[in-house]
Structures are given as structure tokens and as C-alpha cells.
Chain A
Amino acid sequence: AQSVTQPDIHITVSEGASLELRCNYSYGATPYLFWYVQSPGQGLQLLLKYFSGDTLVQGIKGFEAEFKRSQSSFNLRKPSVHWSDAAEYFCAVGPQSTASKLTFGTGTRLQVTL
């Protein structure tokens, strides 16, 4: 069965510092991989996705993620965090064979200090 692990429940960074959120997945084949962000009281917004091809993908709001097949990881990075990035971040995996359900990690809550 597919699963997603986000080992960090809560991360605090200073504004302007770099950020890396970890995501490891378990899946039988190459999956689709996604990062979503959820601000308080809001829905989920797609930050970026890995579908195929270049393993370093760029997303919105200055985020990027790197797919590493050998490590079953898809870590999210941002070189300089802004206070508005404070939110909850979810990594998700979906099957390539059919457009079907996403399996989400438990999320990482990001706090940004000024």
C-alpha cells in the first residue's frame, strides 16, 4: 500500500532563512508526487508536482522540490522564507496508472519568526 511520511510535525524558521521540508514515500512504481499548502481556515493549494522528466521541479511562491528515486524522497525547499509562508504543508502521492486518490502525509506546520 502506498504511504507518505513527513517526519517533521512542526518546524520554526526565521524570516529570510532557508527551508527544507522532508517527505518520504512508499509506492510500488513511480508515482505522481505533489506538495500542497494549507493556510489556516483555507483549502489546499497546489505548490508543485512531479510527473516525469526533470527531477528538480519548480513551483509557485519560490518553492522547489527534488525527486530522488533512490531515497524515495521528494523534499520541498525554499531559499528564503517569508512570513506569509507560515502554513501547513502536505506531501501527497498518487498513482500514475489512473487518475485516482491522493495519499497524504500528516503534514508539517511551518512557523516563521520575524
Chain B
Amino acid sequence: DSGVTQTPKHLITATGQRVTLRCSPRSGDLSVYWYQQSLDQGLQFLIQYYNGEERAKGNILERFSAQQFPDLHSELNLSSLELGDSALYFCASSEPRLAVGWGGEQFFGPGTRLTVL
């Protein structure tokens, strides 16, 4: 158990709908990362938040957005869903760079499997 929690575990919805995925980082971690894992694209970085602010952006579609709240949990919002959005969405967290023993690793949650029908 990495200490990163994600809800829900599974999500089935229809095209055109909107969903929200939730992530709680490990205690003390300030950074949250979102990744998408699909058969054709592999594991791709979507976006990073650090202590409530957007830090880095990857291949995230305009239909997707994220935020990190004051309690450091994060939500990934996916709208106008298409069949191709079906994937496993992972959240990861990492400790602050100045933390003792920091090694740059990210700790992954169990993922949310999204199926768009």
C-alpha cells in the first residue's frame, strides 16, 4: 500500500458525460501527479500540482482539467467523454524536494479504471 488513495476504483459512463476522479496523496506529500495508462498510448503524464498550484502540464486534453485543494487532495475532471478516453487513470504523489532523503520517486495510487460506452 503506497498511501495514495484514489476513488472510485471503477467508473462506467457514456460518451458526452463528465466525471470526476479523486486522489488523496500520502501524508506530507505536496505534489500530486496525474497519469493516463491506455493500451495505445502507454503511461502518459497529464498534469502536476504542487501545494495547490499547477506546476507542470503534459499531454492533457482541453476537455480535461484538474485542481488541488487546500487539504492537498486533487480531482481530475474529464468532460465531453469519448470512447478513446477509456483508460486507467493514476494519481501519484511525492514528498517535498527539501525533505530528508528525497529521491525523486513518485508513489502511485491503485488507479481508477474509466470505461466510456
Contacts and interface: CB of A to CB of B under 8 A. Distances in A.
21 contacts: A34-B105, A42-B110, A43-B108, A43-B110, A43-B111, A44-B92, A44-B108, A45-B2, A49-B103, A49-B104, A51-B104, A94-B106, A99-B97, A99-B104, A102-B45, A102-B106, A104-B42, A104-B43, A105-B42, A106-B42, A107-B42
Interface of A: 32, 34, 36, 42-46, 49, 51, 90, 94, 96, 98-107
Contacts, number: 56
B55 interface: yes
Contacts of B105: 32, 34, 46, 49
Interface in B62-117: 90, 92, 94, 97, 102-111
B14 interface: no
A43 B104 contact: no
B58 interface: yes
B31 interface: yes
B108 A36 contact: yes
Classify the interface of chain B: helix, strand, loop or mixed. strand
Nearest to B95: A99
A104 B42 CA distance: 8
A90 B90 CA distance: 14
Contacts of B97: 98-99
A12 B102 CA distance: 35
A37 B114 CA distance: 21
Contact of B107 (A46, A100, A106): A46
Choose among A46, A49, A105 the residue with the greatest number of B CB atoms under 10 Å from its CB: A46
Nearest to A106: B42
Contact of B45 (A36, A43, A96, A101): A101
